[in-house]
Structure formats: structure tokens, C-alpha cells
Amino acid sequence: MGHDKLRKFAENKTFSCLLQPAAEDVLDRSGEDAGLHLRPHAIRGHWNEKMFDAARPVVLELGCGKGDYTIALAERHPECNYIGVDIKGARLWKGAKYATERALGNVAFLRTRIEFIGAFFAPGEISEIWLTFSDPQMKSENSRLTSPLFLERYRGFLAPGGRVHLKTDSRFLYEYSLATALANGLTILCADTDIYGHSGLVPESFPPDLLTVQTFYEKMFLEMGLPITYLSFLLDHDGPFVHPDFDDGYWRSVEGPRRTFSHQPAPKK
């Protein structure tokens, strides 16, 4: 491990806005089967009192990377508290350091695996969820952050009427997520396959700052001329979530090989 990473990991321990629980803090290994069993973390239900300078609606970004989207939304909307979640400590360092140096009392970060997310939030504790440029996980449906498995986890802590936002360059993930929402009868608030292609006319269904707050990868994909999609829906569904009738093979072929994070998309076969 490089010295710069070690320096960041050491500095991360000094940031009061960054929570870094060990996996053992939430994993319950007492069961006999090999499934994922979690026990509640001490922060569950107490984010507003323990991590922020005031009680406000809490917005969650999953897979936040360096935290640029979380930070930008927090600076523009001081009426809400924002939590960015990622497993990469070296990435979270940047957002946590920025929030610390500027004394942003409405920003927090959580370093954990996203499949552990249910251990950290109480029912109704989160008002909105943002999924920004998530890995489409083309070969593993249950790993997609809009799969029935993850929607069930979100329902455990998303407040009634809370929105799930998906912003992605992946048409595969967008179409899969839309199919999942439709299969479960979820209320779709917005579904757009090219949010920057409206000739300056911003649809009323777009949330504030959808076009003006951009992640690092979003800016890169826009420079490459790739369309950015947006889907927003409510988790207004009772009972088990079902899997959609989705043609993985077709949408995988439409998207082609997953593009690399360089200045050029991966060549199609």
C-alpha cells in the first residue's frame, strides 16, 4: 500500500464526519446458514443527533466515491442532511476532508459495504436515496443497486413518499431499473434517457440541480458525448418485490462492453 493511502487512512480517523465501522460491528455470525445476517449498529436511528449539527431530513447517496455529489448537494441545500456511502476509504478522504475544513454541519460519510446498509438506518430515517453512476453489474442481478433485493433493503429505512433517484450513463442499468419498477407497480416520477438533450427546456419532473450538479464520471462521460439517463420512483409497494422480465442479453448487446474509465469508451466487439 502506498504512503499516500496510508496517510489518508490515518487522517480519516480524525474526521468526526466519517464513520468507519468494522464489518464485525454489524455482522451476526450466530446463524447456522451462510446467509447475510446483520445486527443494528449503534448509529441506527441516531444520525441526526450524533452526526449532524441539527435535525433535518436525511438524504443518502450510495456509492458516493470521493463525495463530490454529496458535498455539492449539501452546500446547495442546507435544509437537508446528506450522507455519502462508499467502501473505499481513500476516496472518502477527499469528501470528509473538504467537509471538515469547511465545517459543513450537514455532511457525513459512512465507509461500509452497501449490502450492509440496512444495519445503519432505522425505519423512516432516510428521506431520499441517490444512486449515482453505479456499477451496472451486468452479470449479477442481485448486485445491482435497483434489484428487488436492494429495494427491499431500502424499504426498511426510506420514509413514506421518499424518492429513489438513479442517475447513470448505463442504458443497461436504466432499462433494468425501469423494468423492475414497472414489474412491482412502483410510482415512476421521471424516466428520461437523455437528460441533457432537451434543448435548454428542463422538464418539471427533474429535481433541482439534476443538470448542474455533476459527478467526476458524469463530466467525463459528457465529454465523451455519452447520454446520461435519469429515473426516479417511489417504493410504494406492499409485499415481496418481484424480478422483472428483462432481456439481459439484448440490453447488454445494446450497451456493448462496459466502457473503461478513460477518455475513450471501450471498443465494441
Cell 443497486 -> residue: 145
Q: What is the amino acid identity at position 50?
A: K
What are the cell numbers at 173?
442499468
- In the set 33, 53, 135, 192, the catalytic residue is 135
Q: What tens-digit pLDDT sequence spans the chain (269 residues)?
A: 677 899 999 999 999 999 999 999 999 877 656 678 899 999 999 999 999 999 999 999 999 999 999 999 999 999 999 999 999 999 999 999 999 999 999 999 999 999 999 999 999 999 999 999 999 999 999 999 999 999 999 999 999 999 999 999 999 999 999 999 999 999 999 999 999 999 878 999 999 999 999 998 899 999 999 999 999 999 999 999 999 999 999 999 998 776 544 434 443 43
The pLDDT value given to residue 53: 97
The pLDDT value given to residue 77: 98
H or E element in which residue 154 lies: helix 148-155
Q: Which residues of 31-57 are buried (b: 16+ CB within 10 A; e: fewer)?
A: eeeeeeebeebebbbebeeebbeeebb
The pLDDT value given to residue 262: 40
Annotated catalytic, 135?
yes
| DSSP 8-state assignment for residue 260 | P
Complete DSSP assignment for 61-121: EES-TTSHHHHHHHHH-TTSEEEEEES-HHHHHHHHHHHHHTT-TTEEEEES-GGGGGGT-
Domains parsed from the chain with CATH numbers: 3-22+55-255 (3.40.50.150)
212 three-class SS: coil
| DSSP 8-state assignment for residue 188 | E
CA distances from 141 to 191, 198, 212, 267 (A): 21, 31, 31, 24
The pLDDT value given to residue 32: 58
